Amino acid sequence: MVAKRIIPCLDVKEGRTVKGVNFVGLQDVGDAVELGRRYAGQGADELVYLDISATVEGRNTFTLLVERIAQNINIPFTVGGGISSIDDASRLLDVGADKISINSAAVRNPMLIDEIAAKYGSQFVVLAVDAKRVGGQWLITTHGGRQLTERELFAWAYEGQERGAGEILLTSMDHDGTRCGYPCELFAQLSQKLSIPIIASGGAGSVEDIADVLSSGRADAALAASIFHYGEITVGELKRQLSEKNIKVRL
């Protein structure tokens, strides 16, 4: 059995790690490289850095930061946020990112998945999928969950896989930020339809929530931010508790 992965997520604005709710009331929580090194030292399997800068200057700062991360952190890391072209992806992968995450731009232009996978390989492409339950089905949203589309979750995730995405990062916008757990049945259903790994995001409020999505939800990895940033638990302690629940993790 392949070990489940624990992946801290760091939001970055103009080179600094920030935290807030829906990108509002942002507070500086420290240097992105140092925080990443701390999580790596605690046993994180990978890291995700999301650029939330709104300016070209911020994007350039993020590129320089990615280069610094690659020089200082010894675990794989994914970068995302504002990647809308093959040139955007190339800029970040060429300075050392291990993977890139694409979301809204892929919904607008699905061929972007094909282009990046063809140039760099599927293992470099993470398709981030933000879904919301509407009536009896799950529909894709873009722009941080603010815009609803007519794309159906399972069809879009499968299309992403077939176009070359190496992983799916799924967030239920109904659960994101609630800290009330994940929709485990949704993740389990998706895992049955896909052959690529699924990363669960949004809703983690406790060790039990993460244990549930990795076991009954059949997710391959769990992404979390607040529980680590606020010092509620370390990555190492989380992994120890998961191991005690007979969930295979790298200790």
Active site (catalytic) residues: 11, 130
Q: What is the C-alpha separation between 47 and 235, in angstroms, rounded?
A: 12
Tokens matching residue 101:
């995450």
Enter the tokens of residue 212. 């549930």
C-alpha span between 23 and 21 (Å, rounded): 5
Burial class (CB in 10 A: 0-12, 13-18, 19+), 159: middle
Cα 129–178–8 angle (5° rounding)? Answer: 60
Integer Cα distance of 138 and 233 in angstroms: 32
